[in-house]
Amino acid sequence: MEILTAPDELQQACLAHKKTKIIGLVPTMGFFHEGHLSLMDWTRKHCDILVVSLFVNPSQFGPGEDLDTYPRDAERDVRLAEQHGVDILFTPPAGSMYAADHATWVEVPDLARGLCGASRPVHFRGVATVVTKLFNLVQPHVAAFGEKDRQQLAIIRRMVRDLNMPVRVVGRPIVREPDGLAMSSRNAYLADKERRQAPALYRGLLDAEQWIKQGVVQVSALRERITAFYANHLPAGRLDYFEVVDPDSMSPVTEVRGPVVLAVALYLGKTRLIDNILVDPKSQTISK
């Protein structure tokens, strides 16, 4: 495995490979868990050269957020990347990715306005910009992202479509702990008591899915029920949002008439957790 830190070296290496090989990219902020590793494993099967970026991107953190304390373990990440067949691990310093007078941003404002964008107004601008930079450097044929960050995935897909970027963006299923909690690097912040409560975030979404299949299709009624559920099962939590949105546009709906995404964000102590599930009211299968 080759470890590169300079953007121009990464670009030169990938341009050379692209002449004869399929390149896959998995962008990450490191502190790898099974969700990251599943993205690497899937992409490894669909490319000749697997590139993984490990970069805690400062432009997607707002004032007062956890940029300085975001979990990091570079040595462990290098070991895991090597074990999972990564060919190039890109670990740039922030100064090499953003010039002191950096002034160019990529935005998809319609998709970034609600959900996480409401409480993190600069977040998706930073995400779209750094992913564009990575796509320019790596020029991958395929790039894989986790569906836990479904709003992010929708924004990247729209960005790729609108800017005619020649990359196939693939969303991969959420990887969960045995108790249902979606894997996230930020789960490391949870205190023991908070970690015991945290799986109720997913259970609430599953209950909401059952309510829909039982005929509760007004979003106002769903929100009332799930707010009560979280107040009861996550007493230490503070609900940021519960939204029911169109899977493609991420626009809120008021009534469930077809497939929708149930999305939730909740603060548990100082930790902000997010989760979502895709629900089809006509399907007889309950999400797992």
Burial of 37 (0-12, 13-18, 19+ CB in 10 A): middle
Please name which of 133, 127, 123, 109 lies closest in space to residue 61, comparing C-alpha atoms: 123
Coil, helix or strand for 144?
Answer: strand
Please name which of 95, 158, 100 lies closest in space to residue 131, comparing C-alpha atoms: 158
Is residue 105 within 8 A of residue 136, CB to CB? The reply is no
Tell whether the torsion through CA atoms of 42, 46, 47 and 48 is positive or negative.
positive
Q: How many H-runs (helices) and E-runs (strands) does the chain carry?
A: 11, 9
What letters, b where the CB count within 10 A reaches 16 and e where it falls short, cover 51-76? bbbbbbbebbbeeeeeeeebbeeeee
For residue 36, indicate whether it is catalytic: yes
Q: Measure the CA–CA gap between 133 and 197, rounded to whole angstroms.
A: 38
Is residue 31 within 8 A of residue 73, CB to CB? The reply is yes
Catalytic residue among 17, 33, 36, 141, which? Answer: 36
> Residues with catalytic annotation?
36
